[in-house]
Amino acid sequence: MNMLVGYGSVAVFFLIVVAALELTKRKDATFSEYATAGRSFGSFFGTMAFLNTWLPGTMFISFAGLAAGAGVIGFYSLIYSLLAVVLMFFLAKPVHDWGKRYDLRTQADLLGARYNSRAVRVVAALIGIAASFPWIVLGMQSLALVFQYLSFGRIGGATAVLIGIMVIGLRQIWTIRFGMRGVIISDMVQGIVAYFVGTLVILGLLTWLVSNGHGFGDVDPTHFELPGPGSALGPLYLSSLILTGALGGWCWPDIFVRLFTARSAATIKRSAVQAAPVLLIFGAALTLMAIAASSVPGVAEAPDDVWFIAAGVGGIGLITVAGICVVAATMGNVGANLQALGTQTANDIIGVAKGVRVTDPRIGRIAVGVLTLLAALGASATVGISSGLITLALISYQGICQLAPTLFLGIFWRKGTAAAAVSAMSSGFATAAVLQWLYPVSIPWLGGLTSGVAALAVNAAVYVAVTYSAPMNDTERNRVGQLFDRLSESKADPDPESRSSPDTESDSDTTSQYTHQ
């Protein structure tokens, strides 16, 4: 009976999300609409879409597990999340305006336009895909833990992983059909459950823990210590985590595409302002709850299970609600990830290989479907992974942040060249891979820097060196100058929030098209 309640509740939630998608469905006429949702959504939709992608289901599992197992170092994710929101505010105008003017669909597409280079597009797309796949695995594993707990002892870990894969695979039918528009709509429903209902559950659990002998005075004192001089991790380890998180945040293809779905730059800035307090309250509450719960029996042996162990105080009902929160967050993150990677594969790899500008949304649907199948196979191959999943997340950040110099210097500095971009991304990613293999956690002889930060230094140095040693020719300098001059001359969009529907604009009115190479 308990299992029926748990699994049945997830099924009901699933049907609610599907009903919302079917009731708001709209056929995309072009690939660009499929990839960017017609650049038509308002600020609250943008806020919820950002949150449902930024805060995956594994926040309740591996990130909470880090706080439960290691203490206050778990606050690093909250710090870099707030810094990422600041970057969102400053990225809003250049990314949105260039995206709309030149019909850009993906992060790699924007970099290709900025540097006027096929090579830049392809390298950026490949790095984005390679670094993002571990997060899809994390999502699958998060669902496995959900279905294991909601079976109340009837289902083992291996079977739970397979159930999670099937649920995500079924959910992807609607992602493939409706594209980014469907992702945004479902993010609204899923986000409300994951972060608003989830926050209420977290605050309730925190209150119970503090009131029932699991206050912060009962926590192991080592949980309140941070890595410093003489520590095994090194004094620069925490700073490295925050830096890679903040810089790498907008390098994720599924996060970046959020900037293309808004109806204006003002909308994106408003979304950033709305997202900050939600991130602050949710992130701080979840971390504090996990730290307080570290003294609960069973948490020390399985810190990744802290969310469900703590929810156990409320019986079957609270465990079920806790599970639905993880499902809601996971479906948003995994769905957005696969949609973004599929679109990027179609637009920036297949399109470049064929030498054409992709216009048929069916190509995007096929690419998303193929990547979903590959992700399911990859998750099946990692059935044995059941703890320490935070390591997978940290490794992926070391790779994705190698897009940062090319992305941010390209957007805010006129001098960067295509040769500099390709050289920097390639050398940075290769350096990160080698250092990660040699030093999986931190590099002792660099004071605890992670492989990603050490590689960023190489990456940025190569970018600047190549830019100055082989500067742009006059033709390219004029092209880039016009790109930035048009941006500075453009007026801010009024972005009236009073529009009755989020879908009131189409990117069909793009004023000019960029000639993609």
The predicted model gives 454-469 an average pLDDT of: 96
pLDDT digits (tens, 9 = 90+) for 85-130: 999 999 999 999 999 989 999 999 999 999 999 999 999 999 999 8
Rounded to whole angstroms, the Cα distance separating 344 from 414 reads: 25
* Domain with 285 in it: 2-18+33-387
pLDDT band, very low/low/confident/very high, at 382 (cuts 50, 70, 90): low
pLDDT at position 393: 64
pLDDT at position 173: 84
pLDDT at position 513: 41
- Going by C-beta distance under 8 Å and a sequence separation of 6 or more, which residues neighbour residue 375? 133, 136, 137, 140, 168, 334, 338
Q: Is 222 a domain residue?
A: yes
CA 316, distance to chain mean position in Å, is 31
pLDDT at position 471: 94
Nearest alpha-carbon partner for 286 in 53, 51, 60, 50:
60
How many degrees, rounded to 5, is the angle at CA 376 between CA 372 and CA 381?
150
pLDDT at position 359: 79
Q: Is 458 a domain residue?
A: no
Per-chain mean pLDDT for the chain: 86
Burial of 152 (0-12, 13-18, 19+ CB in 10 A): middle
Burial of 484 (0-12, 13-18, 19+ CB in 10 A): middle
For the chain, percent of residues with pLDDT exceeding 90: 55
pLDDT at position 491: 56
Q: Is 66 a domain residue?
A: yes
pLDDT digits (tens, 9 = 90+) for 276-328: 999 999 999 999 999 999 999 999 998 989 999 999 999 999 999 999 999 99
pLDDT at position 391: 64
- Rounded to 10 degrees, the C-alpha dihedral 440/443/449/454 comes to -90
Rounded to whole angstroms, the Cα distance separating 431 from 204 reads: 45
pTM: 0.87
pLDDT at position 456: 96
The predicted model gives 407-426 an average pLDDT of: 95
Ramachandran bin of 234, using left for φ above 0, alpha for ψ from -120 to 50, beta for the remaining angles: left
Q: How many domains does the chain have?
A: 1
Rounded to whole angstroms, the Cα distance separating 25 from 101 reads: 26
pLDDT digits (tens, 9 = 90+) for 169-213: 788 788 788 888 888 999 999 999 999 999 999 999 999 999 999
CA 246, distance to chain mean position in Å, is 12
pLDDT at position 502: 41
Q: Is 137 a domain residue?
A: yes
Q: Is 494 a domain residue?
A: no
pLDDT at position 285: 97
pLDDT digits (tens, 9 = 90+) for 138-179: 777 678 778 888 888 788 777 887 888 888 878 878 878 888
Q: Is the pLDDT of residue 27 over 80?
A: no
Q: Is the pLDDT of residue 514 over 50?
A: no
Q: What is the CATH number of the domain that holds 313?
A: 1.20.1730.10
Q: Is 430 a domain residue?
A: no
The predicted model gives 251-261 an average pLDDT of: 90
pLDDT at position 508: 36
Q: Is 373 a domain residue?
A: yes
pLDDT digits (tens, 9 = 90+) for 37-77: 888 899 999 999 999 989 988 899 889 999 999 999 999 99
Say which DSSP state 106 is in: S
pLDDT band, very low/low/confident/very high, at 390 (cuts 50, 70, 90): low
Count other C-beta atoms under 10 Å from residue 57's C-beta: 30
pLDDT band, very low/low/confident/very high, at 512 (cuts 50, 70, 90): very low
Beta-strand ranges (E) seen in 135-183 are none
Q: 489 or 455: whose pLDDT is higher?
A: 455
Q: 345 or 380: whose pLDDT is higher?
A: 345
pLDDT at position 509: 37
Q: Is 433 a domain residue?
A: no
Q: DSSP characters for 436-505?
A: HHH-SS-BGGGTTB-HHHHHHHHHHHHHHHHHHHS---HHHHHHHHHHHHHHHHSPPP---TT-S-S---
